[in-house]
Amino acid sequence: MHIHHLNCGCMCPVGGKLFDGYSRGLTACLVCHCLLIETDTNGLILVDTGFGQRDVQTPERLSRFFRAFNNIKFEHRLTALEQVRRLGFDANDVRHILVTHLDFDHAGGLQDFPQARVHVMRDEMAAARTADTWISRRRFQARQWQGVDNWEFYAPDGDTWFGFDSVRALIGAEEEDIFLVPLQGHTAGHAGIAVRTSDGWLLHAGDAYFFHDEVHQAERRCPPGLKFYQYMMDTYRSARMRNQQRLRELARVQDGHVEIFCSHDAKEWERAVQQHPVRVDSSAMPSATGKQSS
Ligand SMILES: [Zn+2]
């Protein structure tokens, strides 16, 4: 198993450091941290997709509100499909996609991988389909998964992962240790994705938190912009806060064994890329690696 940390989208809302805690200029910088997992027997597995080719071609398919508020930068080179190709693979090599949730900045690339089975919590799809509030009608864009018909829906089945409810992803007859870990709050069916690696565990926590110090410090710290954004996007606020508390505890107790990161913290993504460098120059031509997935 080899894991690439990809950034599949940039959002630059106004507010600089007050928004993201880091940026010096007028605008902030949020990434869309996704994982591309090369497996021996199950092809490529993608965790979240950021923005896809069709979002870049037709940004109007996303809500005007979020395009403006998040100041989304639509670039083909950031799409998961382009990055998969630069690594020497083909769209059809991606056999599975696990999504933390179905917000517009996570589900944009689903249509770019026609051979992939899409794994998501059942409650998430139910909430996305009903979308009955002002925010939910804008955050969930059914057109992003129009024509996607290969789904696997999950509900917690009694398994636990470090004390969290969890459910094993149905990928290749239990050969991969990949679990959906419900972290409700941001959305109704939001889940982290836990992946066992040779060094321990990764937990892609999606939008369960937005800023490193919310989970990796004993006392939660979050810049006002991201605090407001999470507040605006909350489906179940108390559940989100409770799950952040549990993630803080997990990070403290399992430090060094479980690596926890979220979707949009640019510093976390940069650190992950430094720790797990891509094996080939990302500008390399597709044929440069000569690698084919099995
Ligand atoms: Zn998000």
Phi, psi of 241 (to 5 degrees): -65, -40
Distance 279 CA to ligand 1 centre (A): 27
The residue with greater pLDDT, 288 or 29, is 29
Phi, psi of 85 (to 5 degrees): -65, -40
Distance 294 CA to ligand 1 centre (A): 31
Considering the entire predicted model, what is its pTM? 0.93
Distance 85 CA to ligand 1 centre (A): 24
Q: What is the mean pLDDT of residues 38-50?
A: 95
Q: Report pLDDT digits (tens) over 78-95.
A: 999 999 999 999 999 999
Q: What is the mean pLDDT of residues 268-274?
A: 96
d(CA 190, CA 122): 10
Task: Give the DSSP letter of residue 245.
Answer: H
Task: Tell me how far apart the terminal alpha carbons of the chain are, to the nearest angstrom.
Answer: 12
> Locate tokens 């430090």: which residue?
255
Distance 287 CA to ligand 1 centre (A): 33
Q: Report pLDDT digits (tens) over 194-217.
A: 999 988 999 999 999 999 999 999
Q: What is the mean pLDDT of residues 121-150?
A: 97
**Bridge partners, residue 250, by sequence:** none
d(CA 74, CA 63): 14
Order across the sheet with 117-121: list the strands: 72-73, 2-11, 30-38, 44-47, 94-98, 117-121, 151-154
* pLDDT band for position 283 (cuts 50, 70, 90): very low
Phi, psi of 224 (to 5 degrees): -60, -35
* pLDDT band for position 278 (cuts 50, 70, 90): low
Task: Give the DSSP letter of residue 210.
Answer: S
- Characterize the bridge pairing of strands 191-197 and 178-182: antiparallel
Predicted pLDDT of residue 173: 64
Phi, psi of 193 (to 5 degrees): -120, 120
96 in Cβ contact with 154 (< 8 Å): no
Distance 11 CA to ligand 1 centre (A): 10
Distance 186 CA to ligand 1 centre (A): 9
**Bridge partners, residue 203, by sequence:** 194, 260
Domain 2-277 has CATH 3.60.15.10: yes
Residues with a beta carbon under 5 angstroms from ion ligand 1: 105, 207, 263
* pLDDT at residue 281 greater than cutoff 90: no
Sequence spans of domains, the chain: 2-277
